[in-house]
Chains A and B, each alone.
Chain A
């Protein structure tokens, strides 16, 4: 300790030498190094909430739910998770900017019926359908992004509006019918078996890895994070805020359209009611369980996908226990409420 520090008790720390509080709690310091102190454990959990929730659910479900811990059941959960896992990536990016995309589920519906028409009625080859659906998603996303960015409409309102427009369009395009029995080459996009799983799962994995790298390793990802935390600082640091803000909606709708296409393939039926508000809600819940902040800045592809797996485990358990499916919806609502209340509390403290 320096002379200064002992001398002037009232003066506090010397200028420029303000020290941070010790990283470890005093309780942790006293105990042996090998053992984790409670404070450290909490800290570890705090940094990996999504993983902690996922593992806790797996353990609890394995212990208390019959037939949960079986390979067949794991395959079911993976199959069910693949499609929302693709959609949650885009939603995570939108949430990272502090916005939200409520039209996501309706893009799924429109993509489904349009892909059915292209594949079945117009007899387009599968790659052409895939490309066209991605382009459709991109176009819809650009609309969302441009409206929120340049018309200064809050994302919540803008995407609620565009969502209903898309829902109406999907109903008109379908003329109220469902398209069944889709061509084989089209179905092959998501149904080709690989290592005992349908190709949709690996497609989702590929998309996830690509976007995980985009968000965690690139200039774009860093700028997205900065923009979400502090748009003004970001803008004055040369971050192209408008471009980023529009791009996240474009990514979100493109991935939603891909989800719609894969959904159509999975159920072998193109229908305008696919997705919808229920799907949007499920995806937002998954992102939140994955630790994504509704206030912007915080988000990770890997964690959001753990969030999808977690809520799919909850859904799976509700099925296995023979409880009403509506409990699943209630649980989702409760999760979002808790997240918002908790977020508000921590924001107030900060």
Chain B
């Protein structure tokens, strides 16, 4: 049995109060009784949601902050790290996500910053450049040690950081999301380097959110959640579904809730609609309480189909029926009044009026419902806005806040809110979760399920296959302006099937 390079036992870190003293009596801790091992010649991946404690654990290992409780052993010897410099001298190198280099200095000066080789009390520049060149050569790069760091790419700067780590004779290297700003090629180079470091018996802690990278480079992985270690497993046990469950404490089913039920009567029927004179006729149906996914590549005609149904685009032949009535030639305004809504993929120019307030945006498509004889009632508008801000959990100072100052997720909720104000029977969603953070995404998925549960028919365009498959009761896949396939939810509906129909 190999002896571990690093062994952390029962590491605990409290939350700190406003007075700078730890709060020992609360249940919530940043880290609680976390064990962590790193063996020589292994890449140990650390995964977890933001705030799970990954960075704190690594800061303790890197000597940046001390643990409140617990032990740390390096090479079998118990250590108390005084600071980051102390950790570095004991062989732990921390490569931060934001690189810590001095842009005005050259490569060699950065590598030997603060410990430049000396001869008779004077800096020995020749020795410094020689040793830098050696280190860089060992990393099989021909980077010139005299180049100023400001002129290097992110990937090259990372190499300098690694060279610096090697110059300390480090045996433990912590990499915090090192690939965040690298290209595919640069990532390959980095991975090659990591493999060589591993072969030389170094231990690497690798923090990443990217599953494919974790599978490509990891040997073991540890999942942290809410400051606790959920488990440490060999990489062969790394399955996205189960890892998401370990990270989030909820399964895929909970990410894509499905409490709604489909009613038989159709809300939307499309018969033989042609998007252009040359594309095939499209047939499609959306029922009450049903979430129908519309998949396909960008440019396959998904948005065009939704806009055709919404009266915002001309189409060639065929008919559109909404609640049994033929609606060919209806304007968006008339369709909106009848209960049709279309949430555009382009939030900024087709979904919101960014310089107007949340209230004004929410009521824009349903002004009649808050007006008498054409005059708007401010109290009614405010009640409506307050209700939606509450129902959709829009985070804002007040309903008067200007929409452009909101985060992407909250902006998207405003667009959704605008359409909910119109009391739709048919809701068409075009990329409803594009460009918003994970938390808001899960909330929007939940809302979609609730809206369908209220009997609304939903047609959802999405390029995110897990979302498309996770939420939809049925999926139409479009290709070159026509419907290539119709797939029912179930074991048959897989990402591979959808992709196969798309191209």
Binding site for B on A (CB under 8 A): 3-4, 6-11, 14-20, 23, 213, 217-220, 222-223, 225-226, 229-230, 232-240, 297, 350
Across the interface, do A14 and B50 meet the contact criterion of CB distance under 8 Å?
A: yes
Given the complex, which residues of B lie within 8 Å of A234, measured CB to CB?
A: 353, 364
Find residues 429-457 in chain B having any chain A CB closer than 8 Å to their own CB.
Answer: 437-440, 443
Given the complex, which residues of B lie within 8 Å of A4, measured CB to CB?
A: 50-51
Across the interface, do B374 and A238 meet the contact criterion of CB distance under 8 Å?
A: no
CA distance A297 to B402 in the complex (A): 14
CA distance A76 to B356 in the complex (A): 39
Across the interface, do B333 and A7 meet the contact criterion of CB distance under 8 Å?
A: no
CA distance A20 to B407 in the complex (A): 9
Nearest CB of chain A from residue B174's CB, rounded to whole Å:
13
Nearest CB of chain A from residue B25's CB, rounded to whole Å:
14
Find residues 22-81 in chain B having any chain A CB closer than 8 Å to their own CB.
Answer: 28-30, 50-51, 53-56
Given contact pairs A16-B440, A218-B376, A350-B404, enumerate 4 new A-B contacts (beta carbons under 8 Å): A16-B407, A20-B396, A219-B374, A226-B356
Instruction: Give me 22 A-to-B residue pairs in the complex whose CB atoms sit less than 8 angstroms apart, sorted by A's number.
Output: A7-B15, A8-B55, A10-B55, A15-B438, A16-B409, A16-B439, A20-B397, A23-B397, A218-B374, A219-B367, A219-B375, A229-B355, A230-B352, A230-B354, A232-B350, A235-B332, A236-B312, A237-B332, A237-B418, A238-B365, A240-B331, A240-B333
A18-B30 CB under 8 A given contacts A222-B364, A236-B332, A237-B418 = no
Across the interface, do A3 and B395 meet the contact criterion of CB distance under 8 Å?
A: no
CA distance A237 to B368 in the complex (A): 12
Across the interface, do A219 and B55 meet the contact criterion of CB distance under 8 Å?
A: no
Contact of A236 among B227, B342, B405 (CB under 8 A): B342
CA distance A135 to B176 in the complex (A): 73
Find residues 352-411 in chain B having any chain A CB closer than 8 Å to their own CB.
Answer: 352-356, 360, 364-365, 367-368, 371, 374-376, 393, 395-397, 401, 404-405, 407, 409-410
CA distance A46 to B357 in the complex (A): 17
Across the interface, do B55 and A7 meet the contact criterion of CB distance under 8 Å?
A: yes
Contact of B405 among A17, A20, A213 (CB under 8 A): A20
Across the interface, do A230 and B227 meet the contact criterion of CB distance under 8 Å?
A: no
Most B CB within 10 A of own CB, among A14, A220, A236, A239 = A236
CA distance A238 to B339 in the complex (A): 12
CA distance A259 to B97 in the complex (A): 67
CA distance A4 to B29 in the complex (A): 10
Given the complex, which residues of B lie within 8 Å of A233, measured CB to CB?
A: 349-353, 364
Nearest CB of chain B from residue A219's CB, rounded to whole Å:
4
Given the complex, which residues of B lie within 8 Å of A7, measured CB to CB?
A: 15, 30, 51, 53, 55-56, 227
Across the interface, do A236 and B344 meet the contact criterion of CB distance under 8 Å?
A: yes
Given the complex, which residues of B lie within 8 Å of A219, measured CB to CB?
A: 367-368, 371, 374-376
A16-B28 CB under 8 A given contacts A10-B176, A222-B360 = no
Across the interface, do A237 and B376 meet the contact criterion of CB distance under 8 Å?
A: no
Nearest CB of chain B from residue A334's CB, rounded to whole Å:
27
Across the interface, do B401 and A20 meet the contact criterion of CB distance under 8 Å?
A: yes
Nearest CB of chain A from residue B437's CB, rounded to whole Å:
4
Q: What are the 7 A-B residue pairs with the smallest beta carbon separation, nearest first?
A: A15-B439, A238-B333, A4-B51, A15-B437, A18-B407, A238-B336, A237-B365
Is B89's CB within 8 Å of the partner chain A? Answer: no
Given the complex, which residues of A lie within 8 Å of B365, measured CB to CB?
A: 237-238
CA distance A6 to B28 in the complex (A): 12
Q: Mark B90-115, 1 if CB is under 8 A from A, else 0.
A: 00000011100000000000000000
Nearest CB of chain B from residue A301's CB, rounded to whole Å:
16
Most B CB within 10 A of own CB, among A3, A10, A16, A223 = A16
Interface residues on chain B, number (Cβ under 8 Å):
58
Across the interface, do A220 and B332 meet the contact criterion of CB distance under 8 Å?
A: no
Is B315's CB within 8 Å of the partner chain A? Answer: no
How many contacting A-B pairs (Cβ < 8 A)? 130
Is B118's CB within 8 Å of the partner chain A? Answer: no
Across the interface, do A230 and B353 meet the contact criterion of CB distance under 8 Å?
A: yes
Is B310's CB within 8 Å of the partner chain A? Answer: yes
Is B337's CB within 8 Å of the partner chain A? Answer: yes
Is B16's CB within 8 Å of the partner chain A? Answer: yes
Given the complex, which residues of A lie within 8 Å of B227, measured CB to CB?
A: 3, 7
Nearest CB of chain B from residue A221's CB, rounded to whole Å:
8
Given the complex, which residues of A lie within 8 Å of B332, measured CB to CB?
A: 235-238
CA distance A107 to B178 in the complex (A): 68
Across the interface, do B30 and A222 meet the contact criterion of CB distance under 8 Å?
A: no
CA distance A222 to B407 in the complex (A): 24
Given the complex, which residues of A lie within 8 Å of B405, measured CB to CB?
A: 20
Most A CB within 10 A of own CB, among B51, B395, B410 = B51
CA distance A222 to B363 in the complex (A): 10
Nearest CB of chain B from residue A288's CB, rounded to whole Å:
18
CA distance A229 to B361 in the complex (A): 12
Find residues 273-316 in chain B having any chain A CB closer than 8 Å to their own CB.
Answer: 310, 312
CA distance A9 to B332 in the complex (A): 47
CA distance A245 to B390 in the complex (A): 35
CA distance A222 to B30 in the complex (A): 49
Given the complex, which residues of A lie within 8 Å of B176, measured CB to CB?
A: 10
Given the complex, which residues of A lie within 8 Å of B96, measured CB to CB?
A: 10
A6-B371 CB under 8 A given contacts A16-B395, A229-B356, A233-B351 = no
A229-B376 CB under 8 A given contacts A16-B395, A237-B336, A237-B364 = no
Across the interface, do A10 and B312 meet the contact criterion of CB distance under 8 Å?
A: no
Given the complex, which residues of B lie within 8 Å of A10, measured CB to CB?
A: 55, 96-98, 176
CA distance A218 to B370 in the complex (A): 10
Across the interface, do A11 and B51 meet the contact criterion of CB distance under 8 Å?
A: yes
CA distance A20 to B331 in the complex (A): 38
Across the interface, do B51 and A8 meet the contact criterion of CB distance under 8 Å?
A: yes
CA distance A338 to B265 in the complex (A): 61
CA distance A229 to B28 in the complex (A): 47
CA distance A315 to B376 in the complex (A): 38
Given the complex, which residues of A lie within 8 Å of B333, measured CB to CB?
A: 238-240
Given the complex, which residues of A lie within 8 Å of B56, measured CB to CB?
A: 7-8
Across the interface, do A16 and B374 meet the contact criterion of CB distance under 8 Å?
A: no
Given the complex, which residues of B lie within 8 Å of A240, measured CB to CB?
A: 331, 333
CA distance A18 to B408 in the complex (A): 10
Nearest CB of chain A from residue B4's CB, rounded to whole Å:
26
Given the complex, which residues of A lie within 8 Å of B401, measured CB to CB?
A: 20
Nearest CB of chain B from residue A281's CB, rounded to whole Å:
27
Contact of A217 among B29, B364, B376 (CB under 8 A): B376
Given the complex, which residues of A lie within 8 Å of B354, measured CB to CB?
A: 229-230
Nearest CB of chain A from residue B269's CB, rounded to whole Å:
22
Nearest CB of chain B from residue A46's CB, rounded to whole Å:
13
* Chain A, residue nearest B419 (CB): A237
Across the interface, do A239 and B364 meet the contact criterion of CB distance under 8 Å?
A: yes
Given the complex, which residues of B lie within 8 Å of A236, measured CB to CB?
A: 310, 312, 332, 342, 344, 350-351
Given the complex, which residues of B lie within 8 Å of A8, measured CB to CB?
A: 50-51, 53-56
Nearest CB of chain A from residue B411's CB, rounded to whole Å:
11
Nearest CB of chain A from residue B307's CB, rounded to whole Å:
9
CA distance A11 to B55 in the complex (A): 9
CA distance A4 to B226 in the complex (A): 9
Across the interface, do B349 and A230 meet the contact criterion of CB distance under 8 Å?
A: yes
